[in-house]
A and B are shown apart, each in its own frame.
Chain A
Amino acid sequence: MADANTAQKDEGQNSAENGGQEIVVANRYRILVESPLPELDLGEAKAYVTRDDKSPKEPLFARICPADGVPRLEILNNIKHMMDANLLRPVEGEGVVWPGEEGRRIAIVFRKPDHGVLLPADVAKINPLHPDELAKTFLAPAVLTLGYMAQRGLSHRAIRADNIYWHGGGRNSILLGDCISHAPALLQPVLYETIESGMTPPIGRGVGTIRDDFYSLGVAILVMAQGCLPLKGYTDDQIIDAKLARGSFAALMNGERPPFGLRELLRGLLSDDPFERWGLEQLEQWLGGGLRSSVQEVRTGAVERSYEFDGKEYTNCRALASAFGNKWSKAGKVILDTGFEKWLRRGADDLSIADRIRKTLSIGGLPDKSKGADARKIAQTCMIMDRHGPVRYQGLVAMPTAMGLMLADAFFRKDAKAIKRIADSISSGAVSDWYTLQGGAEVIIYEAEINELKQMQHLLKQTALGFGVERCLYMLNPTYPCLSDILLDTYVQSIREVMPALENNVKIHGSLPTIVDRHLAAFIACRIKANIDKSLTVLDAAQGDPVAIKLGMLGVFARLQSKYGPDHMPFLTQWLAKELESTVDRVNGKSTRDQLLARVRSVGETGSLVDLHNCLNNDKIIRQDEMARKKAVKEFSDAAREISQLESKEFQESAQRMGWRIATGISSSISMATIAFVVLS
């Protein structure tokens, strides 16, 4: 991805071509602002015709991501280089200033697909595909592509019939659509999602795993085989209820016979048990004609008797868990109720659920029934009842891998309550509990995520500058731009863009509103490939001392400049030099102070923050100055003592005594000489 220098150079380069406005990406791709492609719009991301300066005939288009979006830029480079995959491949992505919009938007340039989508949004029915044709033109390329993605540890999370394109001369293949311009599974209808993902708000679904993609693929196969969407007219809640009541396969078939030859395939892909669900191996065997075993249908969480909660009857633990998640304050008392426990023991298909809930609630002592269980215990109870479901904590409903996205969304909306709720869910251990309660091999699979959570918990405990929830935001969203007000709406996404942005802001405005804030410190701490926690602790200790803070940040900026450039930053350096001139007063010695001041002023013109830092944060000079000061103090007091001695009465008296002694000496000498002379003569 091109750096901010290029992007900033692009600002103002909006030249007219054929009478239209253009936005240039990566100095090469020209997005024609006045040539929209509504047929290629995706959700809130609008599509526009795009031209490549180096290959003008290549059919390209760009999607402009919404301002509140969190595009998956961290996988862009990976997908860009998957040359053999049947995937709508991106060519370039960059932050651009879009006409008529505040702030920057991410623009992603794609190669234009040969044909349209399998099932356009405005089309109710298409010709169903024959199973053989479906296997050859649809399933085989999809499995190949998902295989490539799985090898790289990626998930698509946007597989649906209106995001898959026909491909090739005779529409003999498909291209899986754009999975970058929106958060994972954000635009997925509940129909295409697993039960647990369907019960989660779209922004909270997270990256999931490739198993979620196989489920979506199964639904897409069903759609293509039937030629239309199943469960038409059903609301999202009705779809989830149907899946919970009958299992996804049965619910989606809705009493109809599955297409010939696709029963095992659909049953395998639409299994509600992610471990039973078909994966790459089974699909490849099925494509090769070798797999005929089928997956047992399960109704996960089913309970024989109903349970009444908040005016509604529930016959499924998972549905009840979802209700608890939404009405968590009421759930706190219900889960302590013996009636609830009896209901679980009598009717749940998993008899251990009641024991596990009891055990969990007993840790630390059973809570007082009148007060109800605390939020963490409610969350744990929901997790036991719905093992694969999302984290449900104080009204927050999200998959554990979606915490970063939720944070990004909350910060964008400036929702302080939501930010606190997400932070509390991490620091209280509720999110870690999700992984722990998966048990067994899952804990090993999620080792990286668990370690990341431990790191988040440690960061959330510290409120110092550069730590806290802001640091979590940038750690969990590696391509999220910095939200610091200091950057004055400059889009800064990578650490290399920070210094040029600050330099530019000082150049335009003459100064920065402040030298550091929580977002900037957290962004730098997160993205710099070094540990600056020590510097951050020093910065935090200096709160209330603006000069010390500026000195501390100078050290950080110098480090950034030395690592990432640019080498010459005259505006920022001069501004900082002027702001920090008063720090020269720390030096006691006037001649050293004058020398240092002259040096600071000359360094300001060179544009080197590194030199400025070496000048002002030089411990050696301070130490030497202090030693010289102590020496000067000693000399001054020695001089004063000597003066006092010389002016004292004792000195005068000693002079007199000395005179007497000399007189006596002279007298005795004369006497001796006389005696000697007389005796010898």
Chain B
Amino acid sequence: MAAAKSKKGSKPLSIAVGVLVLIFAALPTATLLAMGLAPTLVARIVDRTPGRYLMKCVAWMNVAGLVPYLTKLWFSGHDMATAIKMVTDVYTWFFVYSAAGMGWLLFLGLPGAVAMFRALNAKRRIYFLREKQKDLILEWGECVLPAGDDPKKLKELAAESNSPDNEGSTPVHPPANVTTRA
């Protein structure tokens, strides 16, 4: 517990030390990064997901948006004038923040699409499994029920099996000792 606390405590310190080193060692880069990584910082603050997926999504796209400007800064002298020029350029803000925004949109939109896709698949699978269960009940009757199964479900399944569509087949009844919930 003390080790974890000390580990937790040392992380912000390391970040702080890293930031200080960056400021003193590469002020122009630090300036650009300070302005460009603001969306990531915001995402980090508002992110409540386990695994910090929002922050990661925004961070990656944020970095993607910053990289061209960073390379331009590094290959054009790496001075404060270039850095300030970039920081005051509205297009720089637009490009970097748009990239971060796309990351944010990805985070917001993609899980929903994935969930819908999976739900559809699940529904199809459930339908297939229920049909299989119906066939098993038609073939084997009550004896196919394992002990402790939900009697309400059996009654529903039995009712479906006994529907007019299944005329001619043996009617299925729930076991006599099974009671259904109200």
| CB under 8 Å from chain A, chain B span 94-131 | 103, 106-107, 109-115, 118-119, 122, 125-126, 129-130
Q: A659-B112, A668-B60, A674-B64 are in contact. Are A635 and B143 (CB under 8 A)?
A: no
- Establish whether residues A670 and B136, one from each chain, have CB atoms under 8 Å apart when the complex forms: no
- Establish whether residues A632 and B146, one from each chain, have CB atoms under 8 Å apart when the complex forms: no
- Establish whether residues A655 and B126, one from each chain, have CB atoms under 8 Å apart when the complex forms: no
Q: How many residues of A contact B (CB 8 A)?
A: 37
- Establish whether residues A651 and B111, one from each chain, have CB atoms under 8 Å apart when the complex forms: no
Which A residues are in CB contact (< 8 Å) with B58?
A: 667
Q: In whole angstroms, how far apart are the Cα atoms of A144 and B130 in the complex?
A: 92
Which A residues are in CB contact (< 8 Å) with B107?
A: 660, 663-664, 667
Min C-beta distance of A22 to chain B, whole Å? 60
Min C-beta distance of B169 to chain A, whole Å? 8
- Establish whether residues A639 and B129, one from each chain, have CB atoms under 8 Å apart when the complex forms: yes
Is A305 located at the chain interface by the 8 A CB criterion?
Answer: no
Is B56 located at the chain interface by the 8 A CB criterion?
Answer: yes
Is A488 located at the chain interface by the 8 A CB criterion?
Answer: no
- Establish whether residues B141 and A636, one from each chain, have CB atoms under 8 Å apart when the complex forms: no
Is A642 located at the chain interface by the 8 A CB criterion?
Answer: yes
CB 8 Å contact bits of B22-56 with A (1 = contact, 0 = none): 00000000000000000000000000010101101
Which A residues are in CB contact (< 8 Å) with B19?
A: none
- Establish whether residues A663 and B67, one from each chain, have CB atoms under 8 Å apart when the complex forms: no
Binding stretch for chain B, among A584-592, A599-607, A611-619: A584-592
Q: How many residues of B contact A (CB 8 A)?
A: 46
Which A residues are in CB contact (< 8 Å) with B67?
A: 671, 674-675, 678
Q: A590-B170, A674-B67 are in contact. Are A667 and B61 (CB under 8 A)?
A: yes
Beta-carbon nearest neighbor of B65 in chain A: A674
- Establish whether residues A590 and B56, one from each chain, have CB atoms under 8 Å apart when the complex forms: no
Dominant secondary structure of chain A at its interface with chain B: helix
| CB under 8 Å from chain B, chain A span 636-670 | 636-637, 639-640, 642-643, 646-647, 651-652, 655-664, 666-668, 670
Q: In whole angstroms, how far apart are the Cα atoms of A679 and B68 in the complex?
A: 9
Q: In whole angstroms, how far apart are the Cα atoms of A662 and B60 in the complex?
A: 13
- Establish whether residues A667 and B133, one from each chain, have CB atoms under 8 Å apart when the complex forms: no
Beta-carbon nearest neighbor of B50 in chain A: A657
Q: Which of B53, B112, B133, B140 is in CB contact (< 8 Å) with A639?
A: B133
- Establish whether residues B71 and A679, one from each chain, have CB atoms under 8 Å apart when the complex forms: yes
Which B residues are in CB contact (< 8 Å) with A589?
A: 139-140
Dominant secondary structure of chain B at its interface with chain A: helix
- Establish whether residues A591 and B56, one from each chain, have CB atoms under 8 Å apart when the complex forms: no
- Establish whether residues A667 and B125, one from each chain, have CB atoms under 8 Å apart when the complex forms: no
Is A633 located at the chain interface by the 8 A CB criterion?
Answer: yes
Q: A639-B129, A655-B115 are in contact. Are A663 and B110 (CB under 8 A)?
A: yes
Is B138 located at the chain interface by the 8 A CB criterion?
Answer: yes
Q: A655-B111, A655-B115 are in contact. Are A670 and B71 (CB under 8 A)?
A: no
- Establish whether residues B114 and A637, one from each chain, have CB atoms under 8 Å apart when the complex forms: no
- Establish whether residues B126 and A643, one from each chain, have CB atoms under 8 Å apart when the complex forms: yes
Q: A636-B144, A640-B149 are in contact. Are A660 and B111 (CB under 8 A)?
A: yes
- Establish whether residues A588 and B125, one from each chain, have CB atoms under 8 Å apart when the complex forms: no
Which A residues are in CB contact (< 8 Å) with B86?
A: none
Min C-beta distance of B76 to chain A, whole Å? 14
Which A residues are in CB contact (< 8 Å) with B130?
A: 639, 643
- Establish whether residues B144 and A590, one from each chain, have CB atoms under 8 Å apart when the complex forms: no
Is B63 located at the chain interface by the 8 A CB criterion?
Answer: yes
Q: In whole angstroms, how far apart are the Cα atoms of A38 and B101 in the complex?
A: 132
Q: In whole angstroms, how far apart are the Cα atoms of A658 and B49 in the complex?
A: 12
- Establish whether residues B64 and A642, one from each chain, have CB atoms under 8 Å apart when the complex forms: no
- Establish whether residues B61 and A655, one from each chain, have CB atoms under 8 Å apart when the complex forms: no
Q: In whole angstroms, how far apart are the Cα atoms of A589 and B144 in the complex?
A: 10
Q: Which of A639, A655, A658, A678 is in CB contact (< 8 Å) with B132?
A: A639
Which A residues are in CB contact (< 8 Å) with B83?
A: none
- Establish whether residues A667 and B122, one from each chain, have CB atoms under 8 Å apart when the complex forms: no
The residue among B57, B64, B118 with the most chain A CB atoms within 10 A of its own CB is B64
Which B residues are in CB contact (< 8 Å) with A662?
A: 110-111, 114
Q: Which of A636, A655, A660 is in CB contact (< 8 Å) with B53?
A: A660
| CB under 8 Å from chain B, chain A span 401-447 | none
Q: Which of B122, B125, B129, B143 is in CB contact (< 8 Å) with A629?
A: B143
Min C-beta distance of B64 to chain A, whole Å? 4
Which A residues are in CB contact (< 8 Å) with B159?
A: none
Q: In whole angstroms, how far apart are the Cα atoms of A591 and B61 in the complex?
A: 62
Q: Which of A591, A651, A670 is in CB contact (< 8 Å) with B122?
A: A651
Is B152 located at the chain interface by the 8 A CB criterion?
Answer: no
Q: In whole angstroms, how far apart are the Cα atoms of A366 and B109 in the complex?
A: 107
Beta-carbon nearest neighbor of A592 in chain B: B139
- Establish whether residues B133 and A640, one from each chain, have CB atoms under 8 Å apart when the complex forms: yes
Which A residues are in CB contact (< 8 Å) with B51?
A: 657, 660
Q: In whole angstroms, how far apart are the Cα atoms of A667 and B104 in the complex?
A: 10
Sample 24 A-B pairs with CB under 8 A, ordered by A number. Answer: A588-B140, A632-B139, A633-B143, A636-B133, A636-B145, A636-B146, A639-B129, A640-B153, A646-B122, A646-B125, A647-B122, A652-B115, A655-B111, A655-B115, A656-B114, A658-B111, A658-B114, A660-B110, A663-B106, A663-B109, A667-B56, A667-B57, A671-B61, A675-B67
Task: Give the 8 A-B CB pairs with smallest separation, nearest first.
Answer: A659-B111, A660-B53, A659-B114, A655-B115, A671-B64, A667-B60, A671-B60, A663-B110
Question: B residues touching A (Cβ–Cβ < 8 Å)?
Answer: 49, 51, 53-54, 56-58, 60-61, 63-64, 67-68, 71, 103, 106-107, 109-115, 118-119, 122, 125-126, 129-130, 132-133, 136-141, 143-146, 149, 153, 170
